Structure 1
Amino acid sequence: MTDSPIRCTIDLDAPGKQIGRLQVPRSSNTSGWSSLFVPIVSVARGEGPSALVIGGVHGDEPEGQVAALNLARDLRPDQVTGRVTVIPCLSPDASRAYTRLWPSGANLNRSFPGRPDGPADEQLAHFLSTELFPRADVVVDIHSGGRTALCLPWSEMHWVEDADQRRRMVEGMLAWNTDWCCVYIDVAGTGLLVGEAERQGKTVISTELGGGGHVTAEIHRLAASGLANVLRHEGVLAGEPITRAALGKPDPTLLMATDVDDYVLAPETGLFETLVSLGQHVDPGQPVGRIHFLERPERPPEVVGASNGGIVCVIRAIASTSQGDNVVVTARVAERSELD
């Protein structure tokens, strides 16, 4: 173990199925000596690849939490070659509150690589960075748009410079069998979980499976089937991976949201009225929404235009909008060869 103050109640290297928790020390108004419990499950058998599956980095994204809970409960050692480690919800307090951020205001997805002597979110990030990522070959981080954004259901990845790592990530992204796949950039700061895993050379696979504060049965099925297929593709879960062709589906549409101007921000505070639909093509400058002003009913709404043309892949899900909030994301359609 490193110098982490976090206690892990399972043996991260032992065979078989183990169910335990990470205990993150904290102090509260109701308990001077306390711990945040983060459940962790390990299922291992024999020699093979190691996959780390994470849900609930943000508490208002239940898609990954449900898929990871089902996987953790149902998975048996005889179905595994190597190891699958599952953290169904990395931010349990935020999940209980159904909020993106921790009650402290911390965004866990801006806390990596973390530090052992920092606040609780940074301690947890440090434990993953120093204990779990080094043990993993594959890191699966399941996201959605949460309460505030509605995304096309896609699997996603960052662009990484190492060609072999990028190839592995592209193949993993495609193995989710989503209709859309997206290459994206960070526009709200650094410290992402996937960024640290990528820095360590891991095959990193992520998603944005809808959002908007609700989850359909179709999305739950996509989260579960995609996760299982990725683990089969990576060779850690028994069975042959299923291709889109075998499902009678065409190749996915590849999107590149890699220009900062793809991320349209609200110029003023007000009520956002969406003028476009997910999957719709827009031209540069085309209106994508309008901002209305409750205090000024006589004032015409402020028209918000797309900076770049492309496919609308994210729309703000709630009308109440502050200046600087993201309201729409556009992406250009890419060819598979661009990712090689």
Structure 2
Amino acid sequence: MPNDFNILHQKIKLGETVQINMDIARLNTRSKIEVPIIVSRGKAEGPCLLLIGGIHGDETNGVEIVRQIVAGGLNKPEVGTVICIPLLNVFGFLNQKREFPDGRDLNRMFPGSNTGSLASRFAFNLMSKVIPKVDYCIDYHTGGAQRFNYSQVRIDRSDEETLKLAKIFGSPYIVYSKSKEKTFRKSMADLGKKVLLFEGGKSLNLDKIVTKVGVQGAINVMHYLGMRDFSSNISKINTVIPPIIIQSSNWVRAKHSGMYRSYISAGQKVEKGVKLGSISDPFGDFESVFKCTQEGYILNSNHAPVVNQGDALLHIGFE
């Protein structure tokens, strides 16, 4: 890495922290939509780590994690470079929606096209103007709608280096999850970048425990990569309670429509035969209880009080 680190036509010297605004598009009123990117370089050359939140505009907990990292000065390395993008999908954030104004899911548009849809152009600009500098990435997400994800890191099964990084991150669960085509994670992996996809919390919600795990994970990874000495910030709990590795998982879906009550919590281990929840009508005539069919761990729990037949209620992982 040269002493002058060029990104978005701006040179950043060793020891500097600079905020750059990536100017990609405008609102219908012609007002600019700029994506703030905070680039912090250490006093010595080293790896480049990207911390990114808000690929989905309603996943506010990921935004909060990266925001806290920047606000606390934790993004300033002694070695190498940390790039923070707290909020990529500004459009969705303004509208408190997952998608772009064109109705597309940004995380299904990578690596994008400079002549494609609005979301595709956003993806293209990120991949072409920022990602070439990046070696490692932590991509922060939450559960969609009212589905709460217990803190977990998702990785591809075959990547041993990423597995090691996931263990260093220190979330309670590591979930083997194949990258889907046209996602940010898949496009990064195709370029040889190492990505940890963190899932925690639910959309349009801030959870203090999830935020703490996400911030601590970034600290742990930076320390491991030799970017900054965080010895005093590293919790010893990671060596006492290793993460549980989830080999496979499946969703429990509603067999009926109605009012939903969950009997368990996200993160909980459940035994075969235990009652997971019930669905009833609103009038007191009908109630159906459903049970666990296999021992596992609750990775995601739907917090919605009313569900439709076929809705995802619980995501259960298996070792």
Bin for the TM-score computed over the shorter chain: 0.7 to 0.9
- Inter-CA distance 123–291: structure 2 relative to 1 (3 Å threshold): farther
User: 1: CA distance between counterparts of 2:203 and 2:317?
Assistant: 19
Q: Could you say which residue in structure 1 is the equivalent of 2:302?
A: 316
Residue 36 of structure 1 aligns with which residue? 33
How do 1:244-283 and structure 2 match up within 5 A? 244=235, 246-247=236-237, 250-256=240-246, 258-259=248-249, 262-283=250-271
Residue aligning to 1:18: 18
Name the CA distance, whole Å, in 1 between partners of 2:27 and 2:239: 52
* Identity among equivalent pairs (%): 22
Instruction: Give the Cα separation in 1 of the matches to 2:34 and 2:269.
Output: 45
Q: Does structure 1 retain, via aligned residues, the 8 Å contact 2:49–2:83? A: yes
Q: Which runs of 5+ in 1 are unaligned?
A: 1-7, 334-340
Partner residue of 1:225? 216
CA-CA distance at 1:287 after TM superposition: 4.9
- State how far apart, in whole Å, the 1-side matches of 2:96 and 2:109 are: 19
Change (3 A) 1:104 1:51: same
| Counterpart-to-counterpart distance in 1, 2:157 and 2:26 | 36
The structural deviation recorded for 1:100 is: 2.8
Q: Aligned residue for 2:201?
A: 210
CA–CA distance in 1 between the matches of 2:48 and 2:110? 21
How far is the alpha carbon of 1:220 from its aligned partner? 3.0
Go from structure 1 to structure 2 and tell me whether the alpha carbon gap of 1:77 and 1:25 turns closer, same or farther (over 3 Å shift).
closer
| Structure 2 portions without partners, runs of 5+ | 1-6
Paired amino acid for 1:232: H
| Alignment correspondent of 2:105 | 107
CA contact (8 A) 2:96 2:204 kept: no
Distance 1:70 1:300 in 2: 47
Partner of 1:4: none
Counterpart amino acid of residue 199 in structure 1: D
Q: Give the corresponding residue for 2:3.
A: none
Aligned partners of 2:27, 2:207: CA distance in 1, in Å?
38
Separation (CA, whole Å) in 2 of partners of 1:41 and 1:200? 23
Structure 2 residue aligned with 1:172: 165
1:181 aligns with 2:173: yes
Alignment of 1:19-168 (within 5 A): 19-26=19-26, 28=28, 31=29, 33-45=30-42, 46-75=44-73, 79-154=77-152, 156-161=153-158, 166-168=159-161
Q: Is the 8 A contact 2:75 2:84 kept in 1?
A: no
Whole-Å separation in 1 of the counterparts to 2:238 and 2:169: 15
Residue 336 of structure 1: aligned partner: none
Give the Cα separation in 1 of the matches to 2:297 and 2:60. Answer: 26
CA change 1:201–1:329 in 2 (3 A) is same
TM-score, structure 1 length as denominator? 0.78
Tell me which residue corresponds to 1:290.
278
- The structure-2 alpha-carbon separation of the partners of 1:17 and 1:212, relative to structure 1 and needing over 3 Å to count, comes to closer
Offset at 1:10?
A: 5.5
- AA aligned to 1:253 is P
The structure carrying a bigger strand percent of its residues is: 2
- Given that residues 257 and 330 in structure 1 are in contact (C-alpha distance below 8 angstroms), is that contact kept between their aligned partners in structure 2? no
State the alpha-carbon separation in 1 of the partners of residues 225 and 156 from structure 2. Answer: 20
Using the size of structure 2 for normalisation, the TM-score is 0.83
Q: Write the deviation string for residues 189-238 of structure 1: whole angstroms up to 9, x where unpaired.
A: 64322122122221211222233754343333332222222122222234
Aligned length: 311
Q: Deviations for 1:304-337, whole angstroms, at most 9, x for unmatched residues?
A: 555643111210022233444321111113xxxx
- Structure 1's 216 and 281: CA in aligned 2 closer, same or farther, altered over 3 A? closer
Give the SS at the match of 1:272: strand
Q: 1:281 to 1:240 in 2, by over 3 A?
A: closer
Q: Distance in 1 between matches of 2:261 and 2:76?
A: 52
Mapped to 2, the partners of 1:174 and 1:198 lie a distance apart of: 18
Q: State the Cα distance separating 1:77 from its structure 2 match.
A: 9.0
| SS class of match (2:143) | coil
Amino acid in the other structure paired with 1:312: I
Q: Is the 8 A contact 2:273 2:293 kept in 1?
A: yes
